[in-house]
Structure 1
Amino acid sequence: MGLFNNIKFFVLCHGMLQLAQLLVSGYLKGSITSIEKRYGFSSQKSGLLAAFNEVGNTVLIVFVSFFGSRVHRPRCIGIGAMIASVGVFLIALPHFISEKYTYTDFSSNTKDNSSGLCQSLNSFPEEKSNQTCDQEKTDSHLGVYPILLLGQLLLGIGGVPIQPFGISYIDDYAEKRNSPFYLGILFAITVIGPAFGYMMSSALLRFYVDIDKISSADIDLKNDDPRWVGAWWLGFLMAATLLLLTSLPYLFFPRKMSGESLQEIEEAPMEPSTEKIMEDKKPKTDTMEELSLTEFLKSFPKIVMRTLRIPIYLLVVLAQVNLAAMVAGLATFMGKFIERQFAQTASFSNLMMGGLNIPSAMLGIMAGGVILRKLGLSVRSSAAMCTVAVFISIMFAIPLLFIGCPTQSVSGINYNKFSQQCSNACSCSDEAFNPVCGSDGVEFRSPCHAGCKTVIFKEKVLVSYF
Structure 2
Amino acid sequence: MIRPTSLYRSDSDRREFSAPASNIRQDTIDCGITAIPCCLPSYFQRFATPKIFIFFFIILGIVQGSTQAYFASTVRYVGEIFNYSNEFIDWLLIANEIFQGVFVLIVAHWGNKINRIAWLGGLTCLQGCSCFLVFIPYLEHLNSGNQTQILTAPSSNLCDLPKPFSKLEIVADDGEYCWITLVVLFILQLFIALANSSFFTHGFSYIDDNVEQINSPVYIASALSVKMTSLQFGSFMAWSFLNRERSWWIGYPILGSLLILMGTIIATFPKKLMNTLLKQTAASIFDIATRNTVERQISEITPKTDFFPTFRRLVTNKIIIINAIATVLLEMGIKNFAWYEDKFMEAQYYLPIVGKGFQDPWTSRLVITILKPPIMTLAMLVTGLILAKVRPRTKCVAIWCVLTTLMVVGFCLSYGFMDCKKDKITGEFKEKFLAPYCSSSCNCMENSNVFEPVCIQGYGGTYYSPCYAGCKNITYINDVKLYSNCSCGGSYYGNVIPRPTLASEGACNNAKCAIHYKMFQAFTVISSALLGSGYVANFFINLRAVYHTDKAMAIGFELFLTGILVHVPGKILYKFVSDVTCQFSHKDGYSCSLHSEKFGDIISYLTAGLLLASAIFDIVIVFICQNVELFTDDDDDSSSLPMQQMSRLAHIPEARDSGFATPARASVRSSNIGSAASTLVQSIEYSTPEEQPLTREQHQRNVVSELKARRSTNV
Could you tell me the TM-score, scaled by structure 2's length?
Answer: 0.46
Establish whether residue 49 from structure 1 lines up as the match of residue 98 from structure 2: no
Paired with 1:242 and 1:82, the residues of 2 have a C-alpha distance of 9
Q: What aligned pairs does 1:441-460 form with structure 2 within 5 A after superposition?
A: 441-444=462-465, 447=467, 455=473
Partner of 1:60: 103
Paired with 1:198 and 1:420, the residues of 2 have a C-alpha distance of 44
Contact 1:25 1:194 survives alignment (8 Å): no
Establish whether residue 262 from structure 1 lines up as the match of residue 303 from structure 2: no
| Amino acid aligned to 2:96 | N
**Which protein has the larger Cα radius of gyration, Structure 1 or Structure 2?**
2
**Per chain length, whose mean CA-contact separation is higher, i.e. which structure has more relative contact order (CA < 8 Å, sep 6+)?**
1
| Amino acid aligned to 1:7 | T
Partner of 2:322: 315
Contact 1:78 1:250 survives alignment (8 Å): yes
Partner of 2:351: 342
Paired with 1:148 and 1:191, the residues of 2 have a C-alpha distance of 27
Paired with 1:35 and 1:365, the residues of 2 have a C-alpha distance of 34
TM-aligned CA deviation for residue 16 of structure 1: 1.8
Paired with 1:263 and 1:382, the residues of 2 have a C-alpha distance of 29
Can you give the 5+ residue segments of structure 2 that lack an aligned partner in the other structure?
A: 1-41, 143-147, 165-170, 290-296, 487-715
Q: What aligned pairs does 1:241-252 form with structure 2 within 5 A after superposition?
A: 241-252=257-268
Partner of 1:305: 315
Cα distance 1:241–1:387, how it changes in 2: closer, same or farther (>3 A)?
A: same
Q: What aligned pairs does 1:348-387 form with structure 2 within 5 A after superposition?
A: 351-352=366-367, 355-372=370-387, 377-387=392-402
Partner of 1:22: 65
Cα distance 1:327–1:248, how it changes in 2: closer, same or farther (>3 A)?
A: farther
Deviation digits for residues 285-340 of structure 1 (CA, Å, limit 9, x no counterpart): x986977xxxx455455334322xx2x33332223223333443355554676689
TM-aligned CA deviation for residue 398 of structure 1: 1.0
Match of 1:423 among 423, 440, 452: 440
Partner of 2:484: 464
Contact 1:105 1:116 survives alignment (8 Å): yes
Cα distance 1:51–1:246, how it changes in 2: closer, same or farther (>3 A)?
A: same
Cα distance 1:189–1:330, how it changes in 2: closer, same or farther (>3 A)?
A: farther
TM-aligned CA deviation for residue 246 of structure 1: 0.9
CA RMSD of aligned residues (A): 4.9
Paired with 1:289 and 1:301, the residues of 2 have a C-alpha distance of 12
Paired with 1:254 and 1:106, the residues of 2 have a C-alpha distance of 55
Say which SS state the counterpart of residue 161 (structure 1) adopts.
helix
Contact 1:198 1:354 survives alignment (8 Å): no
Deviation digits for residues 41-86 of structure 1 (CA, Å, limit 9, x no counterpart): 6665444223211333333322345434542433322220012223
Please state which structure has a larger fraction of its residues in strand. Answer: 2
Contact 1:85 1:155 survives alignment (8 Å): no
Cα distance 1:92–1:20, how it changes in 2: closer, same or farther (>3 A)?
A: farther
TM-aligned CA deviation for residue 408 of structure 1: 7.8
Say which SS state the counterpart of residue 345 (structure 1) adopts.
coil
Contact 1:60 1:157 survives alignment (8 Å): yes
TM-aligned CA deviation for residue 152 of structure 1: 0.4
Paired with 2:447 and 2:236, the residues of 1 have a C-alpha distance of 28
Paired with 1:364 and 1:167, the residues of 2 have a C-alpha distance of 19
TM-aligned CA deviation for residue 142 of structure 1: 6.6
Q: What aligned pairs does 1:166-205 form with structure 2 within 5 A after superposition?
A: 166-172=203-209, 174=210, 177=212, 180-181=214-215, 184-202=218-236, 204-205=238-239
Paired with 1:169 and 1:65, the residues of 2 have a C-alpha distance of 12
Cα distance 1:94–1:402, how it changes in 2: closer, same or farther (>3 A)?
A: farther
Could you tell me the TM-score, scaled by structure 1's length?
Answer: 0.66
Cα distance 1:458–1:389, how it changes in 2: closer, same or farther (>3 A)?
A: closer
